[in-house]
Structure 1
Amino acid sequence: MRKLLLIGLAILLAFPARSQSASTSYKFDFGNGKLAKGYRQILPDMLYSADRGYGFLEVESLHAANHGNNALKGDGIYSEKPFFFTVDVPEGNYDIKVILGDQEAPSSTTIRVENRRLMLGKTDTRAGEQLERRFSVNVRYPEIAGIDRKVRLKDRELDYFHWDHQLTIEFNGQSPRVAAIEISPNTKAPTVYLAGNSTVVDQANEPWAAWGQMVPVFFEPGKVVISNHAESGETLKGFRAAGRLDNILSTMKPGDYLFIEFAHNDQKAGGSHVEPFTTYQQVIREYISAVTAKGGIPVLVTSMHRRRFDENGEIINTLEEYPEAMRQLAKEENSALIDLNRMSKTLYEAWGPENSKKAFVHFPAGTFEGQTEDFADNTHFSTYGAYQLANCIVNGLLQTDLKLKKYLKKNLPNFQPSHPPKYEDFYWPLSPKTSIIKPDGN
């Protein structure tokens, strides 16, 4: 224990709290009508440029609407396809306000940011109706403050939106229409950091998904911000060696949280292998010590099961003793625990062997561009499955004593893993970016 305390003190000294450098608000008035005071005008042909520092990633399908009355709400930009707007911003947390809808046409908009991180579910407006909606976003940089080092990114991460020094907003849905965007720094809300593997990460491409990219939509905007540092294929040791834990600690402030979920890759043979009741617990203790030294709050999450059923339709435990080791460690360290492993067993068995395929990446050949073979992945989730795992996380959070649960949205639907929502009732308009390459890890 003394050794762990010394480790925590060393980390605290190495990473003084990094104050958010973001101090500027950004206001954008979409459309070709009269410009609202204090706003920057955004026209449909404004492709992003480094000189300007903002713009659309593509402009082919964008159109302007101008009804000639209110400067801010009387015009806008719309499309029949998903479109992306990106802004150069400093690292930090932001509150975003959008004005959706059109004074003469109906709209339907879903908003995601960075790597398909869900911010706003399906939001419909009638012709003549406009709505203000808010959400909160974390923007992170690969540079690590306090030391001359960057996060060691994998090749596929080099094109990810969440490492590019920008905030990228995806407007999706049947008819997205946007009148304005305001982006303001949020320096007060606690940050919830996520550390994990492919079952947690913000998956960049369809049809893959994970619970970490779904969970932000469950929280009240402005009250808490999710910062998902998970990456596919990572282990406890690999995550730390790549500088990902250091990156979290460099921005962590007292009262922030770190959710820790590892096991799928840690149980495999190799240099990152750890044994459940010895080295697995030891490394997690080191994470806990580092977080508490910064005044943060560690939250341990047992890993969900893989989709593997026996002849009786019951889940086979492929994670062996790792979930139990996490449970015991939470008791020993007096840390909050979300038992996702236990809930996922209930959830999968409620679906059964056949219906559970809809929650995982099981799609016949030809469903996605370039897909010549069937997808039959029993580890990685579809968007529907990832959303239900996020529901489990929220359900587990409600059973803790953490102050964090007070920031959940009011009147969330009552979720029970034994009675999951139907696949047919889940709405997710596909993002344009797809991949036929399975994420690292299994």
Structure 2
Amino acid sequence: MPSTLLPERLSQAFRDRSACLGVIGLGYVGLPLSIAAARAGFRVIGFDINESRCEGLNRGDTFIGHIPATDIAEVIAAGRFEATPDFTHLAEPDAIIICVPTPLTRHREPDLSFVKSTTSAIAKRLRSGQLVVLESTTYPGTTEEVVKPILEETGLVSGQDFFLAFSPEREDPGNIQFTTTAIPKIVGGDGEAALHLAETLYGELVTRVIPVSSTATAEAVKLTENIFRAVNIALVNELKVVFEAMGIDIWEVVEAAKTKPFGFMPFYPGPGLGGHCIPIDPFYLSWKAREYDVTARFIELAGEVNTRMPYYVVERLARALDRCQGRGLAGARILVLGLAYKKNVDDIRESPSLKLMEILESRGAACAFHDPHVPEIPRTREYSHLAGRSSMDLLPETLQAFDAVLIATDHDAVDYRTVAAHARLVVDTRNALARSGLTDYAVVKA
């Protein structure tokens, strides 16, 4: 059995890297965190319910495009990382970091089932002297109202026997400028001892740690960051619709406006929101606000605007087909260019491309896709009917076979000159062709 460490000894173990870390959830957050910790000199046990994922990681394989297999192989060869689906080993780590999904239900209410089941698994093996940190994005109060009671059902007391903290993940998949270790870390603790321990641990992993007064404050920081983005994206999406009616190019407007050296921050329109954060996190706060008889009107309005964007894009595409080819969507063949929710990654979580395909096919169109980073559509909770479709090769004859190409994600690896030269109709939601200098081609911006 691992030795019990008092706060002072645990803090020292973090500083001299003799502590063992456990990371639960080896996805887009947990895996880069595990690699960063292992590179810092910690022994890391990664836990994941996906057995095949664990087997692949232990072979040094990667399943996330922007995380090289060499990075995984490096920390395995050093003997500092192993992945396991066996949660009976949870007594071994001195610190356990929870990085599991926090999706929404169909009714846009928080789904904490992964957090609760993970916490229950920890509770079965919880021992004195462990630090438990929740990183999953959630509403203020989750750490103390949901996680803490489950752990204290063991008879152990937070702040006395074990230590509990919240530190929101801030990953930006594919961003080579701001990697895990370069992004400042917010930490809030359930008591001073927990805060100190979390601050010490993350201080060994990242360049800067920002302590806040409570776990609820730390939870609120993450939501505020993503709500800020969601509201501003909704604003520019609404401006796109308004300016389009006036014959004004929103992309030109934003490019000119951002030359102002103060008082303006550029946000860009798109076909809808994607990723695990911006489409979901704001509703965690609006849901929690109702408990206090408060209506988060900006959040709800931004959500309404952003969720309507795929329908707006489809209408623009339908009008373009009618105007350019004298036909409707029924029976039309549409190639969706880009399946990932953002450029240069393979992450399709909440991708608007999936929603676009669903809407188009509900109106009688036949859809295919090309994405250099997503070879096949995996099974998802909302779009299982699209699973198994493969990315098409982007060849001149392929492009010519479709009635329209809909650019939904602006990957750098796409040859937009070939697209512009051979597609019968291009509807561009990302201004990709114009940014590639292809201004001499007829393109419908949507």
**Greater relative CO, 1 or 2 (CA 8 Å, sep 6+):** 1
For the criterion TM > 0.5, the same-fold answer is no
Q: What TM-score do the two structures reach when normalised by structure 1? A: 0.27
Q: What TM-score do the two structures reach when normalised by structure 2? A: 0.27
